[in-house]
Amino acid sequence: MQIICIYDTGFSEKGSETMRIRRAAALLLALCLALLSGCGRAETQEKPAFRVVTSFYPMYIMALNVTDGIEGVQVENMAGQQAGCLHDYQLQTKDMKNLEQADVFVINGAGMESFLDKVTSQLPGLSIVDTSEGLPLIESGEDGSHLHEEDGHEHTEDDGHDHGDVNPHIWVSISECIGQVENLSEGLQKADPAHAEQYRANTEAYVEKLSELRDRMHEAIDPLPNRNIVTFHEAFPYFAEEFDLNVVKVVNREPDSQPSARELAETIRLVEDAGVAAVFAEPQYPESAADIIASESGIRVWTLDPVTTGPNDKDAYLNAMEQNMETLVQALS
């Protein structure tokens, strides 16, 4: 092909300036296209190969440990680090959008996620790992039900308080937590076999840490002379069973409610009659009712952490349980 260039000598200077402008514009366009192409490649590279969403904080900490250091695997916590137990949690639009992008949804199970039917009906293809599967569960007794005597209203599953016939706070027992971690790991290995070996290695390392802490806790707690305690939430039956503690009374209340005067009086009587050694509140709830019981009975208020909230730290559960051990040793000696 023959290209003929015609120059108008009368306008050579103007033509030369026009060509420079055109060349600069072409270079700028090429640069922009290159940048856009590079951004697209970066976004593709940064997109996780496998996305894990957990229902709430205890599951999140377990998942952080099982997936630790595995490239391409992302873990997000649906309810957030400070949501606490999912007693009254209502799914939001952002939660469903989050789950739509998930490869796996990790749940506690045992009735904790009362919204699960909504998730499964709207996202039938979502893979769900129930960490409570196959684990021994404690039935909710009279003290474990959400019955507030002040208004005579027994809360049911319809109003979001009742977890059903079993207590769902499984993870508060280290032994049960180990079972949940292993269930979580098995679920991820099935859903993401490409990283199965790494999941197994991480699980073994974390279970070893949990087992070592459990042994130290038994050494410290088992010899303690006092075993009778009062707690302010149904979070500790599994913990009490593991360490042979007797929960004389669970003062059931949610963060937005208070025990009735009748329940407080009954609890004070039980504390005095049963020789309760300590009253345990939780960092997630105000201590006003615990302070009343303590002042009337002369028993000190201590804090036990069920690890339903905390920092974005994979060692958060280990650290909280270590602190619980130290608290129990001081309170029950």
Q: What's the token pair of residue 214?
A: 């459990």
- Tokens 């608290």 appear where? 327
Fold of 223-332: Rossmann fold (3.40.50)
Coil, strand or helix at 73 = strand
Phi first, then psi: what are they for 97, rounded to 5°?
A: -65, -40
Q: What's the pLDDT tens digit per position in 174-225?
A: 999 999 999 999 999 999 999 999 999 999 999 999 999 999 999 999 999 9
Give 104's pLDDT tier (boundaries 50, 70, 90).
Answer: very high
H or E element that contains 250: strand 246-250
Burial of residue 183 (number of CB atoms within 10 Å: 0-12, 13-18, 19+) = buried
Fold of 50-214: Rossmann fold (3.40.50)
Sign for the CA dihedral angle at 163, 165, 166, 167 comes to positive
Instruction: Please report, for the chain, the start and end positions of each structural domain, with discontinuous segments joined by +.
Output: 50-214, 223-332
Specify the pLDDT at position 29: 61
Domains 50-214 and 223-332 share a fold: yes
- Tokens 């809360």 appear where? 155
Specify the pLDDT at position 45: 47
CA 115 to chain CA centroid, Å, is: 16
Q: For the chain, how big is the Rg over CA atoms in Å? A: 29
Higher pLDDT, 296 or 24: 296
Whether this prediction's pTM lies above 0.75 is answered by yes
